[in-house]
Copies of this chain bind each other. A is one copy, B any other.
Amino acid sequence: MSQFDNVSVTTNANVYFDGKVTSRTVTFADGTHKTLGIMMPGDYEFAASDQELMEISSGELDVLLPNADWVSIKGGESFEVPANSSFKVKASTVIDYCCSYFK
Q: Chain A interface (Cβ within 8 Å of chain B)?
A: 1-13, 15, 18-20, 22, 24, 26-27, 36, 38, 40, 57-58, 94, 96, 98
Other-chain contact of A7, B7, B15, B20, B96 (Cβ < 8 Å): B7
Chain B residue numbers with a CB within 8 Å of A10 are 1-3
A18 to B18, CA, bound (A): 17
Task: Report how far A57 CA is from B14 CA in the complex, Å.
Answer: 12
Majority secondary structure of chain A interface residues (helix, strand, loop or mixed): strand
Identify which of A4, A11, A96, A98 gathers the most chain B CB atoms within 10 Å of its CB.
Answer: A11
Are the C-beta atoms of A12 and B94 separated by less than 8 Å?
no
- The listed residue (B1, B8, B15) touching A5 by CB distance below 8 A is B8
Complex contacts, A57 vs chain B, CB 8 Å: 11-13
